Amino acid sequence: MEFSIEKLARQNILKMTPYSSARHEYDGDAMIFLDANENSFGSPLPENYNRYPDPLQVKLKEKISLIKGVPAENIFLGNGSDEAIDLLFRIFCEPGKDNALVFPPTYGMYEVCASVNDVEIRNIPLTSSFQLNLEAIENSIDNNTKLIFICSPNNPTGNSMNRYDIEIILNNFNGVVIIDEAYINYSKQRSFIAELTEYPNLVIMQTLSKAWGLAGLRLGMAFAGKPVINLMNKVKYPYNINTATQMLVLSALENIDTPNEWTRITVTEKEQLAKELASLTITQKVYPSDANFLLVKITGARKVYEYLVKNSIIVRDRSTIILCDDSLRITIGTPNENKQLIEALKRYS
């Protein structure tokens, strides 16, 4: 397979001159900053929020590089993974002309970002076992197919996609393959990060919102070859990651043991919760999960959802989406939260 970033990316993106912020224009240390029209007196807060943040998040990328084993130049940081998704559409897809493939049921923002950018989405449903339908995928690809989004572990089904199937797509598709690994910390499957040097058309998305417990800070990560990362940095807004987020995430990344322990507890709780849910008379099936949630097929799922809401327990009703009839998506909570959920469901049934 021959992958050419010059042929794939939109020509106006390749030709554009990116915005050059004041902090882009010098290297090294300085004592006096009179370049960015900031308030030189400070801010009402103890921290120096009067200064614009590092537009390329150098220190943060260096720290993530050590944790992930990926060179900093192969890392893009976004305001959540949603920013990376949107940028990939803007970089590679001509509005009203190109298309992208997604495999429902899956994460809904792929289709939302496509609609915003006037890009056709081609939905190829997963098989009944929630795996990729390679024949249907092959038949759906044409010369204007630029992006393929694969969520693995998948949301809302929780399962990982067959690794061999993903490799077939990577080896035979001339566009960009995005593997969304938001839940990879909970999975027995290994990340595709090690394959970055093998596949120039591969983009991997991960997040600090799940296992790291930093959803409120909105920091998503994309890992890719340098040509793709360079284009993402070229198109993004100059100061997309604010100073507070950069500082807080840097601090959080000093403590890797706590997220690892939370992940271990979550996986143990998931196994126990799956057994208890399966024992309920209203439960038809608890689907296997490599994520921090369970998809559960329940008799009268909508009524059960409404009952739980009245009991101040919020789950996600997925009954209206393809292949998920009468199904609730239940995030794994703390041991006490999981206990309260089961007690409420026992009272219902």
**Tens of pLDDT along 166-178?**
999 999 999 999 9
The rounded percent of the chain whose pLDDT value lies above 90 is 92
What rounded mean pLDDT belongs to the chain? Answer: 96
The rounded percent of the chain whose pLDDT value lies above 70 is 98
d(CA 252, CA 26): 29
Q: What is the mean pLDDT of residues 189-196?
A: 96
Whether the pLDDT of residue 20 is over 90: the answer is no
d(CA 270, CA 260): 15
Q: What is the mean pLDDT of residues 57-75?
A: 97
Q: Which residues pair with 222 in a beta bridge?
A: 76, 205
Whether the pLDDT of residue 28 is over 80: the answer is no
Q: What is the mean pLDDT of residues 97-113?
A: 98
**Given phi > 0 = left and psi -120 to 50 = alpha, else beta, which region is 135?**
alpha
Q: Does domain 5-17+55-252 have CATH number 3.40.640.10?
A: yes
d(CA 275, CA 283): 11
Amino acid identity of residue 191, one-letter, is: S
pLDDT at 349: 74
Structure confidence by residue, pLDDT tens digits, 109-158? 999 999 999 999 999 999 999 999 999 999 999 999 999 999 999 999 99
Q: What is the mean pLDDT of residues 201-211?
A: 97
pLDDT at 48: 84
pTM of the model: 0.95
Whether the pLDDT of residue 35 is over 60: the answer is yes
Q: Count other C-beta atoms under 10 Å from residue 277's C-beta.
A: 21
pLDDT at 30: 79
Buried b (16+ CB within 10 A) or exposed e, 166-186: beebbeebebbbbbbbbbbbb
- The answer for residues whose C-beta is within 8 angstroms of residue 235's C-beta and 6 or more apart is 13, 16, 18, 87, 90, 91
- The answer for residues whose C-beta is within 8 angstroms of residue 178's C-beta and 6 or more apart is 85, 88, 147, 148, 149, 150, 203, 204, 205
Could you tell me the residue ranges of all domains in the chain? 5-17+55-252, 257-348
d(CA 140, CA 121): 11
The band of 47, judged by pLDDT with boundaries at 50, 70 and 90, is confident
Specify the range with the lowest mean pLDDT, choosing from 32-41, 167-176, 277-286: 32-41
Q: What is the mean pLDDT of residues 54-65?
A: 97
Going by C-alpha positions, the residue among 200, 179, 195, 178 that lies closest to residue 88 is 178
Whether the pLDDT of residue 24 is over 80: the answer is no
pLDDT at 1: 56
Q: Assign domain 257-348 to its CATH superfamily.
A: Aspartate Aminotransferase, domain 1 (3.90.1150.10)
pLDDT at 166: 98
Structure confidence by residue, pLDDT tens digits, 6-15? 899 999 999 9
The radius of gyration of the chain from alpha carbons, rounded to an integer in Å, stands at 22
Going by C-alpha positions, the residue among 273, 277, 287 that lies closest to residue 323 is 287
Q: Do domains 5-17+55-252 and 257-348 have the same CATH topology?
A: no
pLDDT at 34: 87
Please give, one letter per residue, the 3-state secondary structure of the chain. Answer: CCCCHHHHCCHHHHHCCCCCCHHHCCCCCCCCCCCCCCCCCCCCCCCCCCCCCCCCCHHHHHHHHHHHCCCHHHEEEECCHHHHHHHHHHHHCCCCCCEEEECCCCCCHHHHHHHHCCCEEEECCCCCCCCCCHHHHHHHCCCCEEEEEEECCCCCCCCCCCHHHHHHHHHHCCCEEEEECCCHHHCCCCCHHHHCCCCCCEEEEEECCCCCCCHHHCCEEEEECHHHHHHHHHHCCCCCCCHHHHHHHHHHCCCCHHHHHHHHHHHHHHHHHHHHHHCCCCEEEECCCCCCEEEEEECCHHHHHHHHHHCCCCCEECCCCCCCCCEEEEECCCHHHHHHHHHHHHHHC
